[in-house]
């Protein structure tokens, strides 16, 4: 008996029905903005202008010009010809936008200046894109037990991915370049950016 | 040819499919919070703390403890025994919460004190509840052309409403009491609350 199958649970809409599942999404989305208004640092309330900028960051990254936009394009592209520019758009919005936002928000709440935010934007986008490409490589190579979904499940669904468009080796190189470039951008930071460097390195090592 | 039928359009999910319709909802919800961060009054940026309080107000009214919570209870109650307390809960959350919030937010952005907000809470809740009750009465009495949905459509769906629970006459009285009580609460305001008084009076007059 594989431990992996024991922790698999049916999704919300299978258990509670589609209407409740959609409402759960609406509620979580709304509650997330409510939570952000009460965000504190070491128990101290943060500056309202910083919090407001963090809310702008998350809303922009999640909404029509971010994750939702990428998801819509992903659905619209399901039956169309594979195209590397469309795929880049999808990854940049569906995956990288929120990763970028999560990297930037720490800096925003600490009152970082524009030049530092610019560097973190570059790092976050690159890491986000690399994460997605590596995910698609692992989907082909990975074993079901390790990955949490059936290996090759994207191929079965005829999904547009980097490996399916430019091959596994080229994709791996692309992901590496993105990660190196992202880490290189961090050079204006000293050891305080080490956790970000470590995350980047982990991305290239991960097998699951 | 009835003009009403000409402006009837199929809903989003009929035209674009369920996935895109759900994403449209997610996007609009997210964009609404983004819009709020840029709210201005006469072109001037509003105080960040006031804006933050407005965001808290909307998120609370819309989320799990507000409109979404009411909608969930509405769905869960579809097949259960009619019950006036459950119905009150549903109306208070599904309908009145956002109406109350929209009344309060004007005052919040103007920096109103707690005693005024308390009055506006009372007014908003009462108006919201009355609106829903009147809507349910009109659903039974109204003509299809005027109302924008088939007359009696709630009855056909066996929906729990005030008229179905306590009858049309009692429901009409209940709505009137709520409106009078709401308007009465406004007595601490002078003419500046006249638009709110006018809205309340309109509620009792509306036939469509």
Q: Are B64 and A31 in contact (CB under 8 A)?
A: yes
- Whether chain B has a CB inside 8 Å of the CB on A70: the answer is no
**Residues B175, A96: Cα–Cα separation, whole Å:** 51
Mean pLDDT, rounded, of chain B: 90
Q: Does A52 sit within 8 Å of B51, measured CB to CB?
A: yes
The CATH class of B47-205 is mainly alpha
The DSSP call for residue B47 is P
Question: pLDDT tens for residues B157-203?
Answer: 668 899 999 999 999 999 999 999 999 999 999 999 999 999 999 99
**Chain centroid to CA B86:** 17
Q: Which residues of A touch B34 (CB under 8 A)?
A: 55-56, 59-60, 63
Among B27, B50, B61, B157, which would you mutate to test the A interface (most chain A Cβ atoms within 10 Å of its Cβ)? B27
- Whether chain A has a CB inside 8 Å of the CB on B15: the answer is no
Mean pLDDT, residues B83-105 taken together = 97
Q: Which residues of B touch A70 (CB under 8 A)?
A: none
Mean pLDDT, residues B115-141 taken together = 96
**Residues B142, B120: Cα–Cα separation, whole Å:** 30
Q: Are B182 and B123 in contact (CB under 8 A)?
A: yes
Q: Which residues of B touch A49 (CB under 8 A)?
A: 48
Question: Is this complex's ipTM strictly greater than 0.90?
Answer: no
Q: Does A27 sit within 8 Å of B29, measured CB to CB?
A: no
Q: Which residues of A touch B56 (CB under 8 A)?
A: 34, 37
Structure tokens at A15: 């258990």
Residues 6+ positions from B157 with CB-CB distance below 8 Å: none
Q: Is the dihedral of CA B162, B166, B171, B174 positive or negative?
A: negative
pTM value is 0.85
Question: pLDDT tens for residues B5-50?
Answer: 557 889 999 999 999 999 999 999 999 999 999 888 788 888 889 9
Q: What is the pLDDT of residue A1?
A: 43
- Whether chain A has a CB inside 8 Å of the CB on B21: the answer is no
* Angle, vertex CA B81, rays to CA B79 and CA B86, nearest 5: 95
The CATH class of A46-205 is mainly alpha
Q: Are A87 and A68 in contact (CB under 8 A)?
A: no
Domain boundaries, chain A: 11-42, 46-205
Distance, in angstroms, between A13 CA and closest chain B CA? Answer: 13
Look at B105 and A46; give whichever has higher pLDDT. B105
Phi/psi at A75 (5° precision): -65, -45
Using CA coordinates, name the residue in chain A closest to B60. A34
Q: Which residues of A touch B55 (CB under 8 A)?
A: 33-34, 37, 55
Classify A203 as helix, strand or coil: helix
Mean pLDDT, residues B88-113 taken together = 96
Name the β-bridge partners of A101.
Answer: none
Q: What is the pLDDT of residue A69?
A: 97
Q: Does A68 sit within 8 Å of B23, measured CB to CB?
A: yes
Confidence check: pLDDT of B148 > 80 = no
Q: What does the pLDDT profile of chain A (208 residues) look like in tens digits? A: 455 555 788 999 999 999 999 999 999 999 999 999 988 878 888 888 999 999 999 999 999 999 999 999 999 998 888 899 999 999 999 999 999 999 999 999 999 999 999 999 999 999 999 999 999 999 988 755 555 566 566 655 668 899 999 999 999 999 999 999 999 999 999 999 999 999 999 999 988 7
Confidence check: pLDDT of B149 > 80 = no
Q: Does B63 sit within 8 Å of A31, measured CB to CB?
A: yes
* Angle, vertex CA A123, rays to CA A137 and CA A197, nearest 5: 80
């Amino acid at each position: 008996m594989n431990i992996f199958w024991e922790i698999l649970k049916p999704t919300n809409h299978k258990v509670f029905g589609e209407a409740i599942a959609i409402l759960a999404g609406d509620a979580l989305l709304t509650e997330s903005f409510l939570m952000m208004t009460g965000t504190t640092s070491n128990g101290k309330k943060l500056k309202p202008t910083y919090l407001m900028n963090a809310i702008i960051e998350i809303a922009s990254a999640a909404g029509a010009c971010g994750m939702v936009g990428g998801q819509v394009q992903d659905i619209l592209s399901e039956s169309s010809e594979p195209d590397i520019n469309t795929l880049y758009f999808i990854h940049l919005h569906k995956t990288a936008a929120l990763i970028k936002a999560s990297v930037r928000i720490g800096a925003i709440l600490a009152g970082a200046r524009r030049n530092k935010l610019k560097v973190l934007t570059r790092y976050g986008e690159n890491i986000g894109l690399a994460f997605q490409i590596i995910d698609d490589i692992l989907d082909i190579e990975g074993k079901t037990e390790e990955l949490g979904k059936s290996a090759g499940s994207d191929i079965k669904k005829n999904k547009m991915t980097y490996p399916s468009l430019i091959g596994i080796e080229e994709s791996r190189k692309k992901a590496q370049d993105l990660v190196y470039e992202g880490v290189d951008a961090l050079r204006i930071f000293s050891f305080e950016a080490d956790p970000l460097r470590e995350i980047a390195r982990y991305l290239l090592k991960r097998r699951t």
